[in-house]
Amino acid sequence: MSAALRPVPRPGVLDIEAYVPGKSAAPAGVKLHKLSSNETPLGPSPAAVAAVREGAAALELYPDGTAAALRRAIAGKYGLDPERIVCGAGSDELLSLLSYAYLGPGEEGLYSQYGFLVYRIAILAAGGTPVVAPEQDHTADVDAILAAVSPRTRIVYLANPNNPTGTYLPFDEVRRLHAGLPGNVLLVLDAAYAEYVRRNDYAAGLELVAESENVVMTRTFSKAYGLAALRIGWMVGPPAVVDAVNRIRGPFNVSAAAIAAGAAAMADDGHIAAAVAHNEAWLPKVTQALTDLGLPVTPSVGNFVLIHFPDAPGRSAAEADAFLTARGLILRRVGAYGLPNALRMTIGSAEANEAVIAALTEFVKERAHA
């Protein structure tokens, strides 16, 4: 009997394509405008920064393993029971923990065609099988998701709004999706961009979580709250799901700095309102300007837009990306999502937004006369 010469990962691990973050560097000599990671241009709340500085004198101490202060702050903001909240190192960790808790070999995790890449990674890492439901117009399709459900389905991930498309499902469609799922299938509503949505028919999912035994909502402090460097996420769910996740998460998975900063940021309503107002002002301006250039933009309710380029030599997304990068304008390539002819642009500062519009105007005009 022959033995392997080195440890071999279990089946499925080597099928994972590692997540590649957006670029964050510009060529030497040009000013960098990083618009590749959907970070807020307003930065963090000053109260959150002060909380981190205050805690810097006690770095030798372990954090509270239950993140009680942060859970209380979240619960107070949204009128929730803190016992039904779990905090994590970004919502990414919680999305993975949910797969670890509810998926195993031979079981399926389901997500939509252009859903967040972390879903596939989490499903495979847990030993499960990813199943992808097609979308309509870059938007999740409830009927397609329900048609993909099988007796092996254990978890359905729905990003609402979705990254990288910026599209969303009205809440009556989310309810219809939930109503069509078997009771033993966990519906995970990933509402990372919920703060930015200004649509009367949208809801992040708190009511559905409150009245269901198989729905979880995840949120993040990385986007509108400007705390991406600290990696803070949270989820709210039924007691049985919360119990399962708490049994497998690390005992100190959220740092003391993250707990303090998150609690302070949650209380700073003015700062979050300013971040949302900035996005609300610039999202339609950027969308209209790019559309006027003949570049289709998927309608977005997030803090980013998906810009489509022709599949033609000299005018492609890859060439536009190189043109922008040379000018210090860093957007996100989304070929890994099956969108090779598109770039995702974060709504940045006024200066950054105007610079992208000006650069793409130059790019389009040059190619039109080539």
Q: At what angle do helices 90-102 and 239-248 cross, to 10 degrees?
A: 100
Q: Are residues 90 and 170 in the same domain?
A: yes
Q: Are residues 174 and 144 in the same domain?
A: yes
Band (pLDDT 50/70/90 cuts) for residue 303 is very high
How far, in Å, CA of 84 to CA of 217, rounded? 11
Our count of domains for the chain comes to 2
How far, in Å, CA of 63 to CA of 251, rounded? 10
190 phi and psi angles, rounded to 5 deg: -90, 105
First to last CA, the chain: 66
Which domain CATH number covers 321? Answer: 3.90.1150.10
Q: Are residues 73 and 166 in the same domain?
A: yes
Q: Are residues 23 and 93 in the same domain?
A: no
Q: Are residues 67 and 207 in the same domain?
A: yes
List pLDDT tens digits, range 216-231.
999 999 999 999 999 9
Q: For tokens 């870059």, name the residue.
A: 138
List pLDDT tens digits, range 19-61.
777 777 777 788 999 999 999 999 999 999 999 999 999 999 9
Q: Are residues 18 and 113 in the same domain?
A: no
Determine the pLDDT at residue 370.
Answer: 61
Residue where a domain stops, chosen among 244, 268, 292: 268
Q: Are residues 212 and 322 in the same domain?
A: no
Q: pLDDT at residue 346 above 80?
A: yes
Q: Is 8 domain-assigned?
A: no
Q: Are residues 258 and 275 in the same domain?
A: no
Q: Are residues 81 and 197 in the same domain?
A: yes
Residue where a domain stops, chosen among 268, 286, 312: 268
Q: Are residues 63 and 120 in the same domain?
A: yes
Q: Is 318 domain-assigned?
A: yes
Residue where a domain stops, chosen among 247, 268, 289: 268
Q: Are residues 27 and 104 in the same domain?
A: no
Q: For the whole model, what pTM was predicted?
A: 0.94
Q: Is 218 domain-assigned?
A: yes
What is the domain range of residue 198? 46-268
How far, in Å, CA of 68 to CA of 323, rounded? 48
Determine the pLDDT at residue 309.
Answer: 97
Q: Are residues 111 and 96 in the same domain?
A: yes
How far, in Å, CA of 212 to CA of 172, rounded? 15
Determine the pLDDT at residue 11.
Answer: 82
